[in-house]
């Protein structure tokens, strides 16, 4: 393999040593030298090819610590309902798709009931206006639930007699008939007889699909992540369907991103039976840990925020996926297997359950090298943030949600709502600042997410909480590169230094010096993985 020297623009190594070297030498997919052009030339084994950055900024490839490749592909392929401002919009957009793709199920993604003038979820009766002859299924912006039409309810055999499962929600009318709204563990009912069932271990994202459909969605999702400069991602919910899709992509040469997988906790018994005692996989695809769910979604108002409300608004009726003892037992089991845990927890009570469980697991066996995570971690108390620092528990929030949903959270929850994802407190407590997308819940654009963490500006032009919750810019830039890489246990990505993988992004402006309001517009012109440019077909 030939040697390459990249030079001609700012090089942001993210190593924290304050140096901005003139040139980077890569060989065999690995960074071999960093320094002046002369130094790197001297280090080359052979006459290197010189790549001119032409003023562009070179950074390590971005690391997205929490995203969903196939679900993100669905969001791209299905009807985009994120702009819908009323149920009429939802019906019209779906009807257009139904006309454009005759004979196919009509699927949409991204409606948000809080943005609809009706202030409620659409119903089966609403979706019947799209069509009664074909299945219509729309997924909530949180990914935690669906609304389906009457035909889809009938095909899934969901009736007044169907019990509401633990950790789930089936909305019903006065006669007990399902209205078409199914959330969290109730989504198992929609995957069909052959589909994956996750019981009360999480929201089931799946609808009945063929391998060809799944591969198409996978490719769409991966392409979008790569185009955003994300060269390493952690898939935050892997069931049989995702595992099979990743392995197929790898075997067929379609997998490009480095991927760390979180197996959903519904598979823990199988992992135990397999004799897992550490992580499994390689440089490109690895089973890193276990994903668990403690409570529901903040955006869907199914998170366990019970007792929190303000301004005369009712407190939402959130729920837990497991009894606290059951969740603690799952976390302990994963810890014993040598796997990290990543538990979705939003409200103070479920966050406390996770921290107690990690404390107990570490008391039994410290395994200090094993990181445990809290996904999202919307509303930790100050005391809980202090415990995170001591327990090596890392929160993994998505700051773009502060921008997208901060207004409605402050409106409904007052001061409590403004404290959503308290990055400033994380920083001051010495808790790592990690920035992720949860794609498709927010679109993958790491530097836009950095902007959101640094400014906490909402769509409505307010600042969520106060300036004390803003993240520092340098720390936020580390939050999309080196910090999540370290959290994932990888010393060889997220930085540009000798020995690191040559996973790189070329940017059309320098995110360290560009005015902060321009961060969302900084463009990725090339992504490289292992020293080779990723060509998006
Ligand atoms: Zn997620």
pLDDT digits (tens, 9 = 90+) for 146-201: 999 999 999 999 999 999 988 789 999 999 999 999 998 899 999 988 889 999 99
**Within this chain, do residues 299 and 323 fall inside the same structural domain, yes or no?**
yes
- The SS3 call for residue 432 is coil
Whether residue 417 is contained in a domain is answered as: yes
pLDDT of 409-463, one tens digit each? 999 999 999 999 999 999 999 999 999 999 999 999 999 999 999 999 999 999 9
pLDDT of 384-423, one tens digit each? 999 999 999 999 999 999 999 999 999 999 999 999 999 9
| Sequence-ordered list of residues with C-beta below 8 angstroms from that of 242, at least 6 positions apart, any chain | 69, 70, 235, 261
Higher local confidence (pLDDT), 315 or 303: 303
Query: 183: CA distance to ligand 1 center in Å?
Result: 15
Whether residue 317 is contained in a domain is answered as: yes
**Within this chain, do residues 179 and 224 fall inside the same structural domain, yes or no?**
no
Instruction: Please tell me the distance from the alpha carbon of residue 9 to that of residue 37, in angstroms, as a whole number.
Output: 12
Instruction: Quote the pLDDT of residue 1.
Output: 58
Question: Which DSSP symbol is given to 465?
Answer: S
pLDDT of 235-247, one tens digit each? 999 999 999 999 9
CB burial of 223-240 (b: ≥16 within 10 Å; e: otherwise) equals: bbbbebbbbbbbbbbbbb
Query: 71: CA distance to ligand 1 center in Å?
Result: 9
Instruction: Please tell me the distance from the alpha carbon of residue 250 to that of residue 236, in angstroms, as a whole number.
Output: 18
**Within this chain, do residues 243 and 391 fall inside the same structural domain, yes or no?**
yes
Task: Give the residue numbers spanning the domain of 190.
Answer: 83-140+144-198
Strands 106-111 and 136-140: parallel
pLDDT of 304-322, one tens digit each? 987 777 777 777 778 888 9
Domain count, the chain: 3
271: CATH? 3.20.20.140
**Within this chain, do residues 179 and 251 fall inside the same structural domain, yes or no?**
no
**Within this chain, do residues 347 and 388 fall inside the same structural domain, yes or no?**
yes
**Within this chain, do residues 192 and 221 fall inside the same structural domain, yes or no?**
no
Q: Which residue has the tokens 């969520």?
A: 464
**Within this chain, do residues 88 and 184 fall inside the same structural domain, yes or no?**
yes
Instruction: Please tell me the distance from the alpha carbon of residue 370 to that of residue 347, in angstroms, as a whole number.
Output: 24
- The SS3 call for residue 342 is strand
Query: 242: CA distance to ligand 1 center in Å?
Result: 14
**Within this chain, do residues 21 and 89 fall inside the same structural domain, yes or no?**
no
Say if residues 232 and 63 touch (Cβ distance below 8 Å): yes
Q: Which residue has the tokens 């440019």?
A: 533
Query: 462: CA distance to ligand 1 center in Å?
Result: 26
Residue 462, number of CB atoms within 10 A of its CB: 14
The distance from CA 75 to its chain's CA centroid, rounded to whole angstroms, is 13
The least confident of 62-66, 271-275, 353-357 is: 271-275
Query: 5: CA distance to ligand 1 center in Å?
Result: 38
**Within this chain, do residues 151 and 267 fall inside the same structural domain, yes or no?**
no
pTM for this model (two decimals): 0.96
**Within this chain, do residues 244 and 345 fall inside the same structural domain, yes or no?**
yes
Task: Please provide the average confidence, as pLDDT, over all residues in the chain.
Answer: 95
**Within this chain, do residues 234 and 194 fall inside the same structural domain, yes or no?**
no
- The SS3 call for residue 376 is strand
Whether residue 515 is contained in a domain is answered as: no
Tell me the mean pLDDT in the region 357-381: 96
Instruction: Quote the pLDDT of residue 185.
Output: 87
Say if residues 118 and 129 touch (Cβ distance below 8 Å): no
Residue 291, number of CB atoms within 10 A of its CB: 27
Instruction: Quote the pLDDT of residue 440.
Output: 96
Instruction: Quote the pLDDT of residue 299.
Output: 85
Q: Is the pLDDT of residue 68 over 90?
A: yes
Query: 69: CA distance to ligand 1 center in Å?
Result: 10
pLDDT > 70 fraction of the chain, expressed in percent and rounded: 100
178: CATH? 3.10.310.70
Query: 376: CA distance to ligand 1 center in Å?
Result: 8
**Within this chain, do residues 117 and 248 fall inside the same structural domain, yes or no?**
no
Whether residue 61 is contained in a domain is answered as: no
Whether residue 436 is contained in a domain is answered as: yes
Instruction: Please tell me the distance from the alpha carbon of residue 453 to that of residue 66, in angstroms, as a whole number.
Output: 16
């Amino acid at each position: 393999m030939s040697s390459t020297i990249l030079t001609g623009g700012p090089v942001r190594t993210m190593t924290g040593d304050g140096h901005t070297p003139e040139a980077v030498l890569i060989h065999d997919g690995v960074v071999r030298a960093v320094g002046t052009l002369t130094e790197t030339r001297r280090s080359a084994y052979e006459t290197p090819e010189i790549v001119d950055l032409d003023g562009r900024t070179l950074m390590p490839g971005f690391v997205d610590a929490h995203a969903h490749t196939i679900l993100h592909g669905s969001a791209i392929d299905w009807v985009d309902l994120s702009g819908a401002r009323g149920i009429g919009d939802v019906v019209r957009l779906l009807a257009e798709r139904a006309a454009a793709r005759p004979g196919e199920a009509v699927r949409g993604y991204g409606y948000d009931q809080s943005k609809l003038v009706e202030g409620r979820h659409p119903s089966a009766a609403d979706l019947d206006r799209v069509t009664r002859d074909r299945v219509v299924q729309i997924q909530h912006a949180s990914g935690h639930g669906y609304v389906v039409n009457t035909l889809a309810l009938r095909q899934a055999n969901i009736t007044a007699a169907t019990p509401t499962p633990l950790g789930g929600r089936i909305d019903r009318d006065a006669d007990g008939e399902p209205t078409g709204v199914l959330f969290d563990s109730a989504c198992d009912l929609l995957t069909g007889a052959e589909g994956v069932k996750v019981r009360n271990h999480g929201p089931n994202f799946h609808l009945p699909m063929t391998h060809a459909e799944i591969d198409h969605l996978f490719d769409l999702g991966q392409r979008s992540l790569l185009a955003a400069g994300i060269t390493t991602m952690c898939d935050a919910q892997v069931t049989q369907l995702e595992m099979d899709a990743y392995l197929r992509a790898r075997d067929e040469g379609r997998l490009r991103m480095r991927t760390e997988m979180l197996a959903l906790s519904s598979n823990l018994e199988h992992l135990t039976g397999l004799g897992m005692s550490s992580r499994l996989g390689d440089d490109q695809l690895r089973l890193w840990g276990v994903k668990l769910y403690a409570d529901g979604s903040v955006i869907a108002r199914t998170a366990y925020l019970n007792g929190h409300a303000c301004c005369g608004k009712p407190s939402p009726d959130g729920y837990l996926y497991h009894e606290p003892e059951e969740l603690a037992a799952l976390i302990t089991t994963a810890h014993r297997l040598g796997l990290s845990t990543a538990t979705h927890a939003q409200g103070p009570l479920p966050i406390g359950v996770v921290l107690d469980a990690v404390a107990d697991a570490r008391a039994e066996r410290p395994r200090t090298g094993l990181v445990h995570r809290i996904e999202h971690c919307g509303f930790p108390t100050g005391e809980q943030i202090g415990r995170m620092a001591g327990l090596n528990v890392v929160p993994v929030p998505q700051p773009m949600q502060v921008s997208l949903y901060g207004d409605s959270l402050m409106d409904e929850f007052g001061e409590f709502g403004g404290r959503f994802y308290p990055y400033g407190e994380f920083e001051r407590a010495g808790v790592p600042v990690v920035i992720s997308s949860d794609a498709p819940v927010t679109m993958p654009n790491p530097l836009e997410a950095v902007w959101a963490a640094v400014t906490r500006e909402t769509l409505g032009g307010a600042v969520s909480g106060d300036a004390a919750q803003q993240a520092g810019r340098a720390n936020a830039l580390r939050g999309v590169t080196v910090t999540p890489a370290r959290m994932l246990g990888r010393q060889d990505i997220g930085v540009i230094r000798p020995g690191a993988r040559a996973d790189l992004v070329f940017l059309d402006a320098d995110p360290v010096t560009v005015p902060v309001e321009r961060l969302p517009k900084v463009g990725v012109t090339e992504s490289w993985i292992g020293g080779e440019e990723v060509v998006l077909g």
